[in-house]
Chain A
Amino acid sequence: MVFWSYCRDFTGTEREEFELRDGATVGELLEQVYARFGKLGEARRSLLVAVGVEYAEPGRRLERGEEVSLFPPVQGG
């Protein structure tokens, strides 16, 4: 899992690895993330998730080795 923008302030790290069962979903990963990093859990309703370079919903199944990103609402411009 890669953290972007102020998510890094909440975790103190840019990336973290998580062990998941085969066929696990994005939502299952997020539950582990929020359990490990409570401040992210508090902000979860506003956070966005991507697998690779595409946005992902909680039901998206993960393949081994895929990189998932978590970040706040975007603010370009």
Chain B
Amino acid sequence: MRGLMRREFHWTREPWREEQGRWTGEDRGDYGAVVRFEGVVRAVEAGRRIRGLEYTAYEAMARHQFEKLFDGAGQRWPALGAVVVVHRLGFVPSGETSLWVLVAAPHRSEALVACGWLIDEMKRWVPIWKQPVWEDPLPPEPVGGESC
């Protein structure tokens, strides 16, 4: 049992580039399963088109809560080799990646389950918020009378 060898959390205000997700470390051969997850900003929220989402966070607490989640992941799945999370801050246009997660484990079952668990727990505990930036403002309320 090697334990969680690599655990990283990063904020970024820049667009995510595919090549940043490459894992070329010398320990790569130790893990038969590498799961990568990308959360992408949808173009429609609550039936309305959006330009994107504005992300804010209580950054120090978020980092601390991620560390606790990494501890929890390592305890639940001791064979995990790596957990890496990158989260955007600021405005993220629709179609761009807002969250990127990598989980590596000897076998696919724990890698897939641990990745899902980590994202679920993040959505419960990590203080990050998002605000839609609408493509079109709401039409004005009708004034003083009946509509057609």
Contact = CB atoms under 8 A, between A and B. Distances in A.
Interface of A: 2, 4-6, 48, 50, 52-55, 69, 71-72, 74-77
Contacts, number: 57
Majority-rule SS of A interface residues: loop
Interface of B: 39, 56-58, 60-62, 64-65, 87, 98-99, 119, 122-131
A77 B98 contact: yes
B123 A53 contact: no
Nearest to B63: A53
Contacts of B61: 50, 52-54, 69
B39 A74 contact: no
Given A5-B56, A53-B65, A77-B39, A72 B119 contact: no
Contact of B58 (A71, A75, A77): A71
A15 to B, nearest CB: 12
